[in-house]
Chain A
Amino acid sequence: MRFETAHHHTWRKTKSGLACTIAFVSAVLVISPLGLVFGYLLIKGAGSVNLDFFTKLPTPVGVPGGGMANAIVGSLILLALAGVIGIPVGVLGGVYLAEYGSARLSSALRFLADVLNGIPSITWGIVVYGLIVLRFKGFSAYAGGFALALIMIPLILRTTEEVILLVPNGYREASLALGVSRWKTIVHIVLKTASKGIITGILLALARVGGETAPLLFTAFGNRFWNHNLSQPIAALPIQIFTYAISPYDDWHRQAWAGALVLVTGVFCVNVLVRVLTRQRGASVA
Chain B
Amino acid sequence: METPEQTVMERLEQGTAPPPEAELPPAHTFEVKNMSIWYDKKRAIDNVTMDIATKHVTAIIGPSGCGKSTFLRALNRMHELTPKTRLEGTVLLQGQDLYSSNIDPAIVRRRVGMVFQKSNPFPTMTIGENVIIGLRLNGVRDRKFLNERLEKSLRMAALWDEVKDDLHKPGTSLSGGQQQRLCIARTLAVEPEVILMDEPCSALDPIATAKIEELIYELKTNYTIVTVTHNMQQAGRISDFTAFFYMGRLIEFGATTKIFTNPTEKQTEDYITGRFG
Binding site for B on A (CB under 8 A): 168, 170-181, 184-185, 188-189, 192-193, 195, 282-284
Residue of B nearest to A194 (CB): B124
| Given A173-B116, A178-B187, also A283-B109 (CB < 8 A) | no
CB neighbours (8 Å) of B138 from chain A are: 178-180
Contact in complex: A192, B78 (CB < 8 Å):
no
Whether B122 and A176, one on each chain, are in contact in the complex, defined by CB atoms closer than 8 angstroms, is: no
Q: Are B81 and A179 in contact (CB under 8 A)?
A: no
27 A-B pairs within 8 Å (CB atoms) are namely: A173-B78, A173-B120, A174-B116, A174-B183, A174-B186, A175-B133, A176-B106, A177-B113, A177-B187, A178-B109, A178-B113, A178-B134, A178-B137, A178-B187, A178-B190, A179-B107, A179-B108, A179-B110, A179-B111, A180-B106, A181-B137, A184-B137, A185-B137, A189-B122, A195-B124, A283-B170, A284-B123
A172: which B residues are within 8 A, CB to CB?
Answer: 81
On whether the beta carbons of A171 and B113 are closer than 8 Å, the reply is: no
Q: Report B120-136 CB contacts with A as 1/0, cut-off 8 Å.
A: 10111000000001100
**Which residues of chain B come closer than 8 Å to A192, judged between CB atoms?**
122, 124
Min CB distance, B253 to chain A, in Å? 25
Report yes or no: A179 in contact with B122, Cβ–Cβ below 8 A.
no
B122 and A178 contacting across the interface, CB-CB below 8 Å? no
The distance in angstroms between the C-alpha atoms of A282 and B172, with both chains bound, is: 10
What CA separation (Å) do A195 and B106 show in the bound complex?
25
B114 at interface (Cβ–Cβ under 8 A)? yes
Chain B residue contacts of A284, Cβ below 8 A: 123-124
User: Shortest distance in angstroms between B122's beta carbon and chain A's nearest beta carbon?
Assistant: 6
Q: Which of B108, B111, B134 has the most CB of A within 10 A?
A: B134
Taking chain A's interface residues, is the majority helix, strand, or loop, or is none over half, making it mixed?
Answer: helix
Whether B116 lies near A170 (C-beta < 8 A) is yes
Q: Is the CB of A170 within 8 A of B118?
A: yes
A128 to B154, CA, bound (A): 57
Q: From B109, B123, B124, give the contact of A176 (CB < 8 A).
A: B109
Partner of B137, one of A177, A188, A283: A188
Q: What chain B residues lie within 8 Å of A178 (beta carbons)?
A: 109-110, 113, 133-134, 137-138, 186-187, 190
Are the C-beta atoms of A170 and B124 separated by less than 8 Å?
no
Give the residue name and chain of the B residue nearest to A180 (CB).
B137
Partner of A170, one of B107, B120, B170: B120
Contacts of B190 in A (CB 8 A): 178-179
Which residue from chain A places its CB closest to the CB of B130 in the assembled complex?
A174
Given A184-B137, A188-B137, residue A177 in contact with residue B122 (CB < 8 A)? no
Closest A residue by C-beta to B110: A179
Q: Which 8 A-B pairs have the closest CB atoms?
A: A179-B110, A178-B134, A283-B123, A177-B114, A170-B120, A179-B109, A180-B137, A174-B120
B76 contacts the other chain (Cβ, under 8 Å)?
Answer: yes
Chain B residues with Cβ under 8 A from A173's Cβ? 78, 81, 114, 116, 120
